Structure 1
Amino acid sequence: MNEGKELIKALDDIEKEKGISKDILLEAIENSLVAACKNEYGKADNIRVTMNRETGEVKVFADKTVVEEVEDPEMEISVADARLKNKFYDPGDIVHVEIVPKNFGRIAAQKAKQVVVQKIREEERKSLYNEYYGREKDIVTGVVQRYNGKNISVNLGKVDAVLTENEQVKGEVFKPTDRIKLYIVEVKNTTKGPKVTVSRTHPELVKRLFEAEVTEVRDGTVEIKSIAREAGSRTKIAVSSNNPNVDPVGACVGMNGARVNAIVDELRGEKIDIINWSEDPAVLIENALSPAKVVSVDVDPEEKSAAVVVPDYQLSLAIGKEGQNARLAAKLTGYKIDIKSESQAYGY
């Protein structure tokens, strides 16, 4: 089998195995051969290369203008020479002259190989990018590879991702081969393949974990309406049900806490408060300050602020350690919350 036929067979095989169009490859090979001819001939803007789609035979043509007197032999051909090919040629006509550049067989084989390898890489990169781009804003399981300084290299199956220091939860330490859940923040296309940015701190990670663990969240019966997270410490989620017979908090907690505990384990002990959503901001704020009991909530919808009164003995619980409970409640509800004890509010 000659080299041309071998090349065509190889391209057929690549088309079947990799799904890369044979025509795209042949066109790319032709273009690269034109570039090789230009290197050989200098300008050679009039060079065309064709490759027989069946035999792989390569032919190189120069398009030359018929002239009475040749001044540029690379671009022009005399009337006499042109009429040796066809007696009807006149000045101004274009003649396709077949040429055989030096070492062209070897150059053609090299170029074909380079183009095929490059195209395969490009297509594989594109395919990987499309696969992971389709999983953007979703969770994946990754296997920890190693620490690179403060960043962690994580294998996602077909690509490696970098869990940067900013996207790590403070205090979480992993060992190589640990399997961890990650949220895909962004997928970028680069010349080295897809660059996947992943996170352990993103609030959506918790949301996706609930979707994976709780059937009712996955099928839309229970909706996560709002989420506030301080990664590694505490998350609050507000849930509502589209079915009056389904208790949204109970569905997320699970039998004996099984569902929420599975998520807490995945997040290495992060506490999760699940509260009932309400369209009434006063009720929502009261629920959001759970586990603290609330005496009254006075809401100013225009200012998006609320004055909350709690029993004296509940004040530190409502505010939380270093203000965390109040901070997360504010983030969850979108309201600025001012908490006072009864004695502060009523002066007794």
Structure 2
Amino acid sequence: MNSELIEALNQIEKEKSISKDILLEAIENSLVAACKNHFGKADNIKVNINRSTGEVAVFQERVIVEKVEDSVTEIALAEAVLKYPRNDIGDIVNIEVTPKNFGRIAAQKAKQVVVQKIREEERKVLFNQYYEREKDVVTGIVQRYVGNNVSINLGKVDAVLTENEQVKGERFKPTDRIKLYLLEVKDTTKGPKITVSRTHPELVKRLFEAEVTEVKDGTVEIKSISREAGSRTKMAVYTNNPDVDPVGACVGLNGARVNAIVNELRGEKIDIINWNDDPAILIENALSPAKVVSVDVNVEEKSAKVVVPDYQLSLAIGKEGQNARLAARLTGYKIDIKSESQVTE
């Protein structure tokens, strides 16, 4: 069993990247617990497995005393001096007490521990692998609907797309490949529990980072984003480089870049505007495609009064107020929109 154990652990270390020392320590700890049945207590027991040969030895820590009252934890000075001449009363000596049938017990325990440890380590590796990708975009394959939730396969693990994180009206078929925002990764005894989202504004941001080189390398910065998933997103972009058009970079030649993202989001409209540190200009840009006559900003109250031409009022407000609502979220300002004739009245 001894050489076979070391050989098996070497193989596991090579194939599964689980340290042999971690496995041996776990086996030693489990054998200490097993010793409790044999010796009545395991507080002073140490188990040592030779890292090269796999030989198992059990040692009992005993305190040298004048008169023994507990033979499990103490050893008489007269006996100790014969075996350990350089020790005195109060010193601790390690005495080998390996039981005769301990090889069989060790073999059984080793098998149990190794199987359990492999599961734990594989679970830990999986958790770390996906935890590192938290708040990033992953590609998943739709498996099935479980009630109103969708089970998504991410490769080595399944994720849950809950009803709250689904875009209203979006339906999937099994084997559909979709992009998802990795919302949260939790460690559980059954492996990592992963929640993903199709509605999060960061999904759009990450898709632009993947699609647009200038965003990925930091030349173009996405300053703000507001989204009503499945319908429309507004995004404000900025660059320090005078030779780069941030909106043009995100739109791409003939709209190629933005269209790739629109297709991924199944037709969701995306408005890309220029960011400006002047809130009046930013608000005017944010209300695009509507034309604006004037913007009166109250910085302290974070509010703005906007005047638009009469024929642009419905466009500025948008269907069910969507354009104004997204512009307000994008800029962080409460926006009150009036037409020229309303202001005159």
1:275 to 273, 276, 280: 273
Find the aligned partners of 2:300 and 2:196 in 1 and give their Cα distance: 37
Percent identity, aligned pairs only, is 80
Change beyond 3 A, Cα 1:213–1:64? closer
Indicate conservation of the 8 Å contact 2:165/2:197, yes or no: yes
Q: Secondary structure of 2:124's match?
A: helix
Within 5 Å, which residues of 2 pair with 1:9-158?
A: 9-67=7-65, 69-78=67-76, 81-82=79-80, 85=83, 92=90, 94-101=92-99, 103-158=101-156
Aligned partners of 1:214, 1:54: CA distance in 2, in Å?
54
Counterpart of 2:208? 210
Q: Output the CA distance in 2 between the equivalents of 1:328 and 1:93.
A: 76
Asked whether 1:227 is paired with 2:225, we answer yes
User: Could you list the per-position Cα deviations for residues 41-93 of structure 1 after superposition, in whole angstroms to 9, with x for gaps in the alignment?
Assistant: 22232212111122111111222344555443323345565466457776655
Shift, 1:280, TM fit? 1.4
Residue 251 in 1 paired to residue 241 in 2?
no
Q: Which residue of 2 aligns with 1:331?
A: 329
Aligned-partner SS, 1:196:
strand
> Contact 2:185–2:192 at 8 Å: present in 1 too?
yes
Change (3 A) 1:273 1:89: closer
Per-residue CA deviations over 1:83-133 (Å, capped at 9, x if unaligned) read 664577766554433224364222111111122222222222222222212
Superposition deviation, residue 34 in structure 1:
0.6
Q: CA deviation at 1:190?
A: 2.6
Change (3 A) 1:309 1:55: same
1:265 to 263, 266, 270: 263
| Cα distance in 2 for residues equivalent to 1:253 and 1:69 | 89
The 2-side partners of 1:63 and 1:295 are apart by 88
Within 1, Cα distance between the matches of 2:92 and 2:274? Answer: 81
Distance 1:115 1:316, change over 3 A: same
Q: Root-mean-square deviation (CA), in Å?
A: 2.0
Specify which of 167, 179, 191 is matched with residue 193 of structure 1. 191
Q: Cα distance 1:278–1:83, how it changes in 2: closer, same or farther (>3 A)?
A: closer
| Worse-matched range after superposition: 250-259 or 144-153 | 250-259
- State the Cα distance separating 1:191 from its structure 2 match: 2.6
Q: Distance in 1 between matches of 2:130 and 2:85?
A: 61
Give the stretch that moved more between structures: 262-271 or 11-20.
11-20
Unaligned runs of at least 5 residues, structure 1: none
Kept in 2: contact 1:44–1:74 (CA 8 A): no
Q: Distance in 2 between matches of 1:82 and 1:297?
A: 94
